[in-house]
Amino acid sequence: MKKKCVFGGTFDPIHNGHLKMAEAAQAAFDLDEVVFMTAGDPYFKTGDHTITPAALRLAMTAAALADHPGFTASDLEVTRQGHTYTCDTLAELAAKEPDTRWYFMIGADCVATIHRWYRPDVIFAHAAVIAANRNDQIPPETLQRDAARLQREFGATIHLLDWEGLDTASSTIRDMVRKGAEELPVPPTVKALIRANDLYQQDLDEDALRTWVQAQITPSRYAHTLGVAQTAEALARRYGESPRRARIAGLLHDCAKSEAGALEHGARGAEKARKAFSIEDEGILSAIATHTTGEPGMPLLSKILYVADYIEPGRDRAPRLSLLRQEAYEDLDLAICHIAEDTLAYLQEQRCEIDERTRNVYNYYKHRTQGPVE
């Protein structure tokens, strides 16, 4: 007889902690399959977070499981109309596979409240429950007491699973994305979907932002700004960055151009944008601050803005622009190297003082793309 476990959740987003929990259950109970059940319209979810559309949450879940044998993503609850109830899901699965021994995994904190779920008797009739106790979050004696009560009242079978969990939560990850964290405790495929679909970002009124930027700079500078925003968005789509983050960084990058010099307006603009719109995304602010000089080892968004500022459609005076525009979509690091190289050549020709940051960027990206700098 096969043994399968349903692991349900909103998975908004699915993260490494979910995967570790499933791996622990798979090993402890010799499960043939862990079925990740993405909730469609969960009746119990309330609060200040608007749940991401089910199709996207399901796509993230499926992407996360691609390299995990024995883990599958089910669309059963996503395709079901109306609210999602666990009892209906387990009853349907048991009817489809009557020769399978079904388990249902929950967090240990749910053992005390599962009797208040809709039709708990149906849940316990069709599946044994695995209660995953992360890092002894719930005292074992408390779990034993609550499990015994469920056995008496419903005939429930409760298995306790102790596992070393990761200190993370979907809400924490959403907050990390909103604040511009580069590293997230999710599989790379999930991070790519979060970026590509502009998920969990700060709510900013882009129309108000454009109006504000237009009032800060000259008409010609505003035309340049729109070109940078457009180019940054296109590069973001090419390299898997959030198009919206790139567009906003492009719109704001020169907002302090009339107030500070060529090298200072980036940092001044980042602070100005932070105050004007209460921007929380440190990645956007960092990209604005460094867009003129760049810096070695820039994060992706900063690279995109640095390049977009140089190659946007309104630029027509720099040398080899056609080549750079092509390179930008083929090898971003090589484009950065050549932009820094051309900037240094221009400054030397004009007998201008060269900022050491520009030289450092050139040396760093030349080494990355062409080997050690002699």
55-91 pLDDT tens trace: 999 999 999 999 999 999 999 999 998 888 999 999 9
Residue 164 has what pLDDT? 85
Strand 3-9 relative to strand 33-38, pairing? parallel
Query: Please, what's the b/e burial string for 33-65 (b: 16 or more CB within 10 A of its CB; e: otherwise)?
Result: ebbbbbbbebeeeeeeeeebebebbbbbbbbbb
Q: What percent of the chain has pLDDT over 70?
A: 97
- Rounded (5°) CA angle 254-205-199: 100
The pLDDT-based confidence of 109 (bands split at 50, 70, 90) is: very high
Give yes or no for residue 231 having a pLDDT over 80.
yes
Averaged pLDDT of the chain: 94
13-30 pLDDT tens trace: 999 999 999 999 999 999
- pTM of the model as a whole: 0.91
- Rounded (5°) CA angle 98-100-105: 120
Closest CA to 127 of 86, 163, 72: 86
Mean pLDDT of 97-118: 96
Tokens read off for 326: 């092509």
CA atoms of 231 and 313, how far apart (whole Å): 8
The H or E element that residue 104 is part of is: strand 101-107
The pLDDT-based confidence of 373 (bands split at 50, 70, 90) is: very low
239-255 pLDDT tens trace: 999 999 999 999 999 99
Residue 374 has what pLDDT? 47
The torsion defined by the Cα of 278, 284, 289 and 294, in degrees rounded to 10, comes to 180
Strand 101-107 relative to strand 3-9, pairing? parallel
The pLDDT-based confidence of 371 (bands split at 50, 70, 90) is: low
Q: Which domains does the chain have, with CATH numbers?
A: 3-168 (3.40.50.620), 201-370 (1.10.3210.10)
Residue 327 has what pLDDT? 97
Sign of the Cα torsion 124, 130, 133, 139 reads positive
Tokens read off for 215: 């009032």
159-200 pLDDT tens trace: 999 988 777 899 999 999 999 999 999 999 999 999 999 999
251-276 pLDDT tens trace: 999 999 999 878 899 999 999 999 99
Q: Which residues contact 169 (CB under 8 A, 6 or more apart)?
A: 15, 17
Tokens read off for 282: 């440190």
Tokens read off for 309: 């500022």
Note the maximum CA span of the chain: 87
Q: Which residues pair with 38 in a beta bridge?
A: 9
Backbone dihedral angles phi then psi of residue 336, each to the nearest 5 degrees: -60, -45
Give yes or no for residue 228 having a pLDDT over 90.
yes
